[in-house]
Chain A
Amino acid sequence: MQKQLTLSFSFTFFLCLTCLPIVWMFGNSIYEDGSFSFDYYRDILFTGRYVKIIANSLILASITTMLSALMGVSAGFFLAKTNLPLKSFFKICFFIPLIIPSYTIGIAWVNLLGKSGFLNTQLAHYLHLSSETISDFIYSTYGAAFILSINLFPVIMLVTEYSLKNLSPRFEESGLVTGSSFHVLRRITLPLITPAIISGIMIVFVLSLSEFGIPSLLQINVLTTQIFTQFSAFYNEKAATAIAFPLIVITIIIIIFEYIYLHGKSFEILGRKPARNSIQYHNKWLLVGGTIFFTFVLFICVFIPLLTLILNIRTLTSFHDAFLLAKKGIINSIQFSSIGATFLTFAGFLLGYLSEKVQFKLKNSTSTFIWIFFAVPATVIGIGLIKLYNRPGMFFQNVYGSLWIIIIGYMARFLPLSTRIQTNYLKQIPYSLEEAGSTTGATWFQVLGKIVFPLQFNGIIATWLICFIFCIGELGTTILVYPPGHETLPITLFTIMANSPDDIVSALSIIIVFMTLLPLGIFLSISRYITRITISVTS
Chain B
Amino acid sequence: MKFIAITCTILFMLVKVCHAGNEVVIYTSEDKIFSEPILQQFEKKTGIKVRAIFDTEETKSTGLINRLIAEKDNPQADIFWSSDPARPALLDIKGMTTSYISTASTDIPAIYKDPEGHWTGFSARARIILYNTNLLSIDEKPLSIFDLTKPAWRGQVAIANPLFGTTAIHIAALFIALGDEKAKKFMNDLKANGVKIVSSNSEVKRLVARGEVKAGITDTDDANVAVREGSAVKIVYPDESGMGTLIMPNMVCLIKNSPNQENGKKLIDFLLSREVEKSLAWAPCAQMPLRYDVRTPAEVYTINAIKGISVDYHDVAKKLEEIQEFLKQWAGF
B-contacting residues of A (Cβ < 8 Å)? 103, 111, 114-116, 135, 213, 216-219, 221, 225-226, 228-229, 231-235, 237, 335, 339, 379, 382-383, 386-387, 390-392, 397-398, 400-404, 475-476, 479-486, 491, 494-502
Contact = CB atoms under 8 A, between A and B. Distances in A.
A379 B69 CA distance: 13
A494 B161 contact: no
A99 to B, nearest CB: 18
A485 B65 contact: no
A226 B31 CA distance: 26
Given A219-B198, A404-B15, A479-B63, A495 B55 contact: yes
Contacts of B73: 390
B31 A498 contact: yes
B40 interface: no
Contacts of B212: 114-116, 135
Interface stretch (B222-230, B243-251, B290-298): B222-230
A88 B53 CA distance: 40
Given A231-B62, A499-B31, A494 B57 contact: yes
A497 B60 contact: yes
Interface residues of B, number: 60
| 10 closest cross-chain pairs (CB), A and B | A484-B51, A494-B56, A233-B163, A498-B57, A386-B70, A401-B18, A379-B62, A495-B54, A231-B62, A495-B32
Contacts of A219: 161, 197-199
21 contacts: A114-B210, A114-B212, A116-B212, A213-B60, A219-B198, A232-B59, A232-B163, A235-B66, A339-B11, A339-B14, A379-B66, A400-B76, A479-B61, A485-B51, A495-B54, A496-B33, A497-B60, A498-B57, A498-B202, A499-B285, A501-B225
Contact of B74 (A103, A216, A391): A391
Interface string B49-93: 001111111111111011101110110100000000000001000
Contacts of B197: 219
Instruction: State the majority secondary structure of interface residues on A.
Output: helix
B333 to A, nearest CB: 5
Contacts of A491: 56
B221 A217 contact: no
Nearest to B224: A499
Contact of A479 (B56, B69, B221): B56
A499 B54 CA distance: 14
B100 interface: no
A217 B203 contact: yes
A293 to B, nearest CB: 32
B60 A480 contact: no
Contacts of B229: 501-502
Nearest to A393: B74
B208 to A, nearest CB: 11
A476 B74 contact: no
Nearest to A486: B16
Contacts of A335: 14
A330 B55 CA distance: 19
A116 B14 contact: no
Given A233-B164, A498-B31, A216 B59 contact: yes
A229 B328 contact: yes
A122 to B, nearest CB: 16
Interface in B4-24: 11, 14-19
B146 interface: no
A497 B15 contact: no
A217 B199 contact: yes
Contacts of B25: 484
A479 B64 CA distance: 8
B15 to A, nearest CB: 5
A392 B74 contact: yes
B196 to A, nearest CB: 9
B170 to A, nearest CB: 14
B333 A390 contact: no
B168 interface: yes
Nearest to B200: A498
B65 A499 contact: no
A390 B199 CA distance: 32
Given A485-B16, A497-B60, A216 B199 contact: yes
A278 B73 CA distance: 59
B66 A231 contact: yes
Contacts of A494: 56-57, 60-61
Contacts of B326: none
Given A497-B60, A499-B284, A501-B225, 18 more contacts: A114-B212, A116-B212, A228-B62, A231-B62, A232-B164, A233-B327, A234-B324, A339-B14, A383-B66, A390-B70, A390-B74, A398-B15, A401-B18, A404-B15, A480-B62, A496-B31, A497-B56, A499-B33
B333 A221 contact: yes
A103 B60 contact: yes
Which of B70, B163, B164, B203 is the most central at the interface, judged by chain A CB atoms within 10 Å of its CB?
B70
Which of A229, A484, A502 is the most central at the interface, judged by chain B CB atoms within 10 Å of its CB?
A484
B60 A216 contact: yes
B124 to A, nearest CB: 15
Contacts of A401: 17-19
Nearest to A240: B62
A483 B221 CA distance: 28
B211 interface: yes
A233 B199 CA distance: 13
B198 A495 contact: no
A237 B14 CA distance: 33
Contact of B67 (A115, A216, A218, A386): A386
A265 B229 CA distance: 61
Given A116-B212, A233-B163, A386-B71, A499 B225 contact: yes
B34 interface: yes
B242 interface: no
Interface in B241-272: none
Contacts of B76: 390, 400
A402 B15 contact: yes
B210 A235 contact: no
Nearest to A114: B212
Contact of A398 (B17, B207, B284): B17
A33 to B, nearest CB: 16
B56 A387 contact: no
A486 B15 CA distance: 11
A116 B210 contact: yes
A339 B284 CA distance: 39
A501 B74 contact: no
